[in-house]
Amino acid sequence: MITAKSDSADTLVRTDAQSFDVEAIRRDFPILQQTVNGKPLVYLDNAATTQKPRAVIDAITDHYLKDNANIHRGVHELSVRATAAYEKVRAKVRDFIGADRVEEIVFLRSTTEAVNLVAQTYGHSVIQPGDEILISTLEHHSNIVPWQMLCEQTGAVLKVAPINDAGEIILEEYEKLLGPRTMLVAVTHVSNALGTITPIKEIIDIAHRSEVRVLVDGAQAVPHTPVDVRDLDCDFYAFSSHKLFGPTGVGVLYGKYDLLNGLPPYQGGGEMILSVSFDGTTYNELPFKFEAGTPNIAGVIGFGAAIDYINAVGMERIAAYERDILDHATQTLSAIPGVRIIGTATEKASVVSFVVEGVHPHDVGTILDQLGIAVRTGHHCAQPLMERFGLTATARASFAFYNTRDEVDALADGIRQVIEVFGG
């Protein structure tokens, strides 16, 4: 029996050492205990955002009930308490991703903001006209558009490493694209649209051999697999709390200390300064230099409770459980005539993108919703990737550790009903 007590709430997470007690876990997620369209909710849109355990909801409520105040500013008791709770989460995040120092953890709004921060600070510090930024076909728009904007602003050139038909980055092609003008590689750890887990350590090693810095978009990796930024040796790593069972509106940028320290500030305002006069401003130290204005204090505190919760369940056990769910989903869905899975990489996280012959993905999603099953349909903010497969959209089921084999079976039954409705 693993028992862990969140320090921000009373919730106990109990899991059996032999088996993964998914029913006990599901009881910790109040939102899952409902019916939608008269059917038990089957929530399979976890890549878009995850549901929150009661410990997270309680931590946010407790903060507003007892400790709410602005941070880093007041000498009064509530401000001291709120500041301590907020900074404690920074240390939790450092430990969660294996960073060296709390100064390397910057709290932002989202993964999107983290990528934009690097584009606008690191990008503008080093990029000259004709320099190159290398991304991959797998990227989410958040890891494409900020680089396109930087290219427009600086005259740099965006290069794209191709993928094979399984949805895997072709490493030899990637390596060939690294040239003397490459200033940064920005690449995803896990594809949101296909579930591909990229060989991120190898990608980083290859870039570093050419002395090129690497930003990793970890938005879809942190919920499914242990991440150790020191072991990866990445230069930047970005992710969002809301995909990790924490609140929306909180993102993290990890950056190596010396690298972050050498960057200019991103936004100006309160908190990011040491002193201001009309003649000039002295900027604050890391990480506050990048945290202008009042942050999402309650959100960060809720995020801390989410990390406690995940640690109590155990990331290795989560990964093993989800592997079984993914295998079951892959086998079950691919056995349905007319269903084609898009993204068949050898290494995958728990995402299954699929198309149903002769049925638009939006119709698939709408009929599944009538059955209480939530999937995402569309281009998943990865339009160039869809184009690579000659598609405009897929339906996507994305699993978390509270999903069950029975829910996978309900999805498969739902898809069979879709096919019946459309006369398959």
Closest to ligand C6P by CB, 57 or 117:
117
Which tokens go with 297?
Answer: 């204090």
How far apart (Å, rounded) are the C-alpha atoms in residues 68 and 136? 43
- Give min distance, CB of 332 to ligand C6P, in A: 22
Closest CA to 253 of 277, 233, 235: 235
Closest CA to 401 of 218, 245, 198: 245
Closest to ligand C6P by CB, 217 or 308:
217
# chain residues binding ligand C6P, by CB under 6 A = 17
188 CB burial (10 A radius; 0-12, 13-18, 19+): buried
Q: Which residue has 């060296």 as its token pair? A: 100
Scanning 68-76, 104-112, 128-136, 340-348 for contacts with ligand C6P by CB under 6 A, the matching segment is 104-112
How far apart (Å, rounded) are the C-alpha atoms in residues 289 and 117? 12
* Annotated catalytic residue 234: no
Q: Could you say whether residue 171 binds ligand C6P (CB under 6 A)? A: no
Which tokens go with 322?
Answer: 């989800």
Instruction: Report yes or no: 226 and 315 within 8 Å, Cβ to Cβ.
Output: yes
Which tokens go with 126?
Answer: 């080093």
- Give min distance, CB of 240 to ligand C6P, in A: 3
Q: Of these residues, 42, 381, 386, 418, which one is catalytic?
A: 381
Which tokens go with 193?
Answer: 């649209």
- Give min distance, CB of 278 to ligand C6P, in A: 36
- From residue 332 to residue 371, the character string flagging contacts with ligand C6P as x (rule: CB under 6 A) and all else as - is ----------------------------------------
- Give min distance, CB of 290 to ligand C6P, in A: 16
Which tokens go with 6?
Answer: 């969140």
Closest to ligand C6P by CB, 135 or 418:
135
Q: Could you say whether residue 381 binds ligand C6P (CB under 6 A)? A: yes
- Give min distance, CB of 114 to ligand C6P, in A: 8
- Give min distance, CB of 217 to ligand C6P, in A: 5
Q: Which of 380, 400, 414, 418 binds ligand C6P (CB under 6 A)?
A: 380
Judged by CB under 6 A, the chain residues 211 through 240 that form the site for ligand C6P are 217, 219-220, 240
**E strands, 86-162, in order:** 105-108, 132-136, 157-161
Whether the ω angle into residue 287 lies within 30 degrees of 0, i.e. cis, is: yes
Q: How many CB atoms are closer than 10 A to CB 337?
A: 8
Q: Could you say whether residue 44 binds ligand C6P (CB under 6 A)? A: no
230 CB burial (10 A radius; 0-12, 13-18, 19+): exposed
- Give min distance, CB of 218 to ligand C6P, in A: 8
Scanning 105-113, 158-166, 356-364, 404-412 for contacts with ligand C6P by CB under 6 A, the matching segment is 105-113
Q: Could you say whether residue 376 binds ligand C6P (CB under 6 A)? A: yes
Q: Could you say whether residue 377 binds ligand C6P (CB under 6 A)? A: no
Distances (CA, A) of 126 to 78, 156, 285: 42, 11, 21
Helix (H) or strand (E) holding 317: helix 315-334
Scanning 135-143, 177-185, 269-277, 285-293 for contacts with ligand C6P by CB under 6 A, the matching segment is 135-143
Closest to ligand C6P by CB, 220 or 296:
220
Closest CA to 175 of 119, 146, 134: 134
Which tokens go with 28?
Answer: 């910790």
Q: Could you say whether residue 394 binds ligand C6P (CB under 6 A)? A: no
How does DSSP classify residue 21? -
Which tokens go with 179?
Answer: 């040239």
Closest CA to 291 of 82, 83, 72, 106: 106
Scanning 84-92, 106-114, 167-175, 400-408 for contacts with ligand C6P by CB under 6 A, the matching segment is 106-114
Closest to ligand C6P by CB, 115 or 301:
115
Closest to ligand C6P by CB, 9 or 60:
60
Site residues (vs ligand C6P, CB under 6 A): 47-48, 110-112, 140, 142-143, 188, 192, 217, 219-220, 240, 376, 380-381
Q: Which are the catalytic amino acids?
A: 381
